[in-house]
Structure 1
Amino acid sequence: MGGVCKEAMDVTKRIDVLDYLRGFALMGIILVNIVPLLSAKLPAPHTMDASYWRFLYLFVEGRFYTIFTFLFGVGFYIFITRANAKGRNGYFLFLRRIAALFIIGLIHVRYHPGEALTVYAVCGILILPFYKANKIVNLMFGIIMLIVFALFSFKLFMVLPLMLLGIAAGQFHVFERLSNNRNKVVLFTTVMFALSALGLIYQYQFAPDIIGNGSIADYRVTQEFLSIGISIGPIVSAFYVGLLVLLLQSSFFQKVLSPLKSYGRMALTNYILQTALIYLAGTALNLFNNISYLESLYLCISIYIIQLIFSTVWLHLIRFGPLEWIWRVVTYLEIPPLRKTTKEYK
């Protein structure tokens, strides 16, 4: 009986580590998204810009969207499970939630071609039947699909297996039981670190000296470099997740990284706000086609500061992020209170 009660409590309790991970993923996503949005100039050979270009495609590109996509799958499972536990129709609510996400994505894609929300909405419908599938089946099917798509560098197709692995993680209650499985997390992170190191060393062998000079040889080397990056992306992402999860076992890091948790709790708002701030800066400072890769990093750091402060202050006073509140209203057709009570401030 006690086990059943504990499980019921787990169904209603917010899992903070997921918010930290969402915030972390968002911080990596903007580093990549800002480059095409502002049409950053290709770096000249043997410059700091060229070094930063290689850094992006070794450690960032294809590493953070995979985390964000995986977390969507985890959130998918948690949302339906909690709705069902409260006596609601989790499937119906999820479909309404997905429809709202799709509409937000349709608006966003006009300003940010290649944005993720519309893709997530469509894939959310496709993976709905897997909610009741056996967790072992979801795990194995997700791993096999991911390996196949990764080997062929099918980046867009990797969204489905990543979400499926997120569902499996939810079914195994991975994030609810982290404190009881520290040794397993250490082992997982160590293995992923070793595989990531090998993969990155291999990828680096194909790093081009000259980027975008138009020659066939340069194009082939660059494409090989980028393709390998896509293939090893999920492994590097898994290492990042494992490392952050281990750090968050310490109350010190929980406190130091607490703004990241607020950032992640407002993931939808901050994802859209990133685009808005990039366009605002680009227009105000005439950065379109005039910004270098390294300068895009400086702008991202400025946006981090703005968003981290905004998220922390907002959630100190308000229960939900602005878009999260709207999303919730559309999903439940109820208007939840926005402001926190005096008791909640403490």
Structure 2
Amino acid sequence: MENPKANKRIDVLDYIRGFALLGIILVNILALLHIKIPDPLTIDASYQRFLYLFVEGRFYTIFSFLFGVGFYLFITRANAKGKKGHVLFLRRIAAMFVFGILHSLFHPGEALMVYAICGFITLPFYKVNKHINLAISIILIIIFGVMGIKVALPLPLILLGLACGQYEIFEKLKQKTKQLFIFTVIMLILSMIGLYIQYLNMPEQPFETMILLSEDGPLDQASKFLQIGVTNGPIISAFYIGILLLLLQTNIVQTILSPLKYYGRMAFTNYIGQTAFILLFGRIFHFITNLTYVQTLYLCLAIYAIQILFSVVWLQYFKMGPLEWIWRMFTYWQTVPLRKTVIKENHVQNHGGL
């Protein structure tokens, strides 16, 4: 008899994925549409500061962490079904790498190729003791964070997600509400300290959205501000996850935020779809270089509405998103049924869902 844990979906992970997608697009759109530096003392300048205090470096870290959790769950569940989990995972990240190459043609600096490479590097850690994985990941996150090396952070964040998967953190949340509350309060305090320090280093004028390293002298004010933001990133991300998980302990919040769950279940489709919508609207309506910072927010809200509605409707009739379906066929190297059936739905209802 098949292990029921091999199929059980962890809904809170889909909520978090959806939440991460909401933040990622707010920053990605700036580069994709080549948004110019805002004028001083404008609402656009204020919005830029908001983004680089509360959004930039906060949501890609969540996505990296979730990739690590999913990495552990995928191999564990494949093994529980009697399949070769490591082999399937290698196919999975190889397909992700190919998707990443194609995506990078339209979105330079996209994350899929990075995740695929990091997944390959961290694969041996699947069999390493969970305490060791936790210690290594936290130490590397602190080192890379303090040094402000943003490009290096996905690797330890994925390893941290793997360790949390080993600890079965998300399967036992109902039993650990008190510990979750304490964790969230600690992360809130640390986040407030970090944000205060970053705020003290905020440039007086609007700034370039990249860290410019100087070999001949100290970092300029904007670069110092952004580098501190890299350091704060994992801490603030941890607070965001903690507060969301606490809110999801109540059924009413789960119901209110349920569209976010569907959005997250199709995270792969929606992540690439964000790029497609941004570039499509940019071409059709001549938005490239012509939008202000605040106007990009309005466009993001429109894309949210389209994608969330599409996700909710699509998943009423299909088991997974369209790109998830293609990805799964590459992984298992066989055709996979996409459309839901009445028999399957009745089976799910009778057995408490997947």
Query: Could you state the TM-score of these two structures normalised by the residue count of structure 1?
Result: 0.95
Amino acid at match of 2:11: D
Counterparts of 1:39-78 in structure 2, within 5 Å, are 39-78=34-73
Distance 1:212 1:257 in 2: 35
Matching residue of 2:32: 37
1:198 aligned to which of 187, 193, 198 = 193
Partners of 1:211 and 1:218 within 8 A in 2: no
**AA of the residue aligned to 2:226:** L
Query: SS at 2:153's partner residue?
Result: helix
Q: 1:212·1:219 contact (CA, 8 Å) conserved in 2?
A: no
Query: 2:211: which partner in 1?
Result: none
Q: Deviation at 1:9? A: 3.1
Matches of residues 243-322 of structure 1 in structure 2 within 5 Å?
243-322=243-322
The amino acid across from 1:18 in the alignment is L
Kindly state the Cα deviation for residue 212 of structure 1 after the two structures are TM-superposed: 3.8
Q: Contact 2:48–2:206 at 8 Å: present in 1 too?
A: no
Where 2:281 maps in the other structure, the secondary structure is helix
Pick one of 129, 137, 144 that aligns with 1:142. Answer: 137
Indicate the residue corresponding to 1:234 in structure 2.
Answer: 234
State the secondary structure of the residue aligned to 2:239: helix
Partners of 2:168 and 2:5 in 1: CA distance? 9
Give runs of aligned pairs for residues 57-136 of structure 1, distance below 5 A: 57-136=52-131
Q: Match of 1:190, as an amino acid?
A: V
1:333 paired residue number:
333
1:167 aligns with 162
Runs of 4+ aligned residues of structure 1 deviating over 4 Å after TM superposition are 216-219
Matched residue SS, 2:190: helix
- Give the letter aligned to residue 191 of structure 2: S
Residue identity in the other structure for 2:273: L
Q: Report the CA distance between 1:338 and its aligned residue.
A: 1.3
Give the deviation of 1:10 after TM superposition: 3.0
Instruction: Report Cα offsets for 1:158-217 as digits up to 9, x if no partner.
Output: 11100000000000000000000000000000000011011101100111121249xx99
User: Once the 2 structures are TM-superposed, how far is the Cα of residue 336 of structure 1 from its aligned partner?
Assistant: 1.9
Distance 1:23 1:16 in 2: 11
Query: In 2, Cα distance between the equivalents of 1:9 and 1:181?
Result: 22
Q: How far apart, in 1, do the equivalents of 2:327 and 2:139 lie?
A: 33
- 8 Å CA contact retained: 1:80, 1:91: yes
Give the superposed CA RMSD.
1.8
Change (3 A) 1:57 1:300: same
Deviation at 1:315, TM superposition (A): 0.4
Structure 2: give runs of 5+ residues left out of the alignment: 209-213, 350-354
Query: 2:159 matched to 1:179?
Result: no
Greater mean alpha carbon deviation, residues 217-226 or residues 250-259? 217-226
d(CA) in 1 for partners of 2:207 and 2:80?
54
**Residue pair 2:6, 2:78 contacting (<8 A) in 1 also:** no
Per the TM alignment, residue 218 of structure 1 is displaced from its structure 2 partner at its CA by: 12
Please tell me whether the aligned partners of residues 268 and 323 of structure 1 are also in contact (alpha carbons under 8 angstroms). Answer: yes
CA contact (8 A) 1:46 1:209 kept: no
Query: 1:160 and 1:66 mapped to 2: Cα distance?
Result: 10
User: Cα distance, 1:8 vs. partner?
Assistant: 4.2
2:199 is matched by which residue type in structure 1?
Y
How far, CA to CA, are the matches of 1:336 and 1:123 in structure 2?
Answer: 27
> Which consecutive residues of structure 1, in runs of 5 or more, have no partner in the other structure?
none
* 1:210–1:218 Cα contact (<8 Å) kept: no
Which is worse superposed, 22-31 or 335-344? Answer: 335-344
**CA distance in 1 between partners of 2:207 and 2:342 (Å):** 57
Cα pair 2:3 2:81 within 8 Å, conserved:
no
In the alignment, is the contact (CA less than 8 A) between 1:10 and 1:176 conserved in 2? no
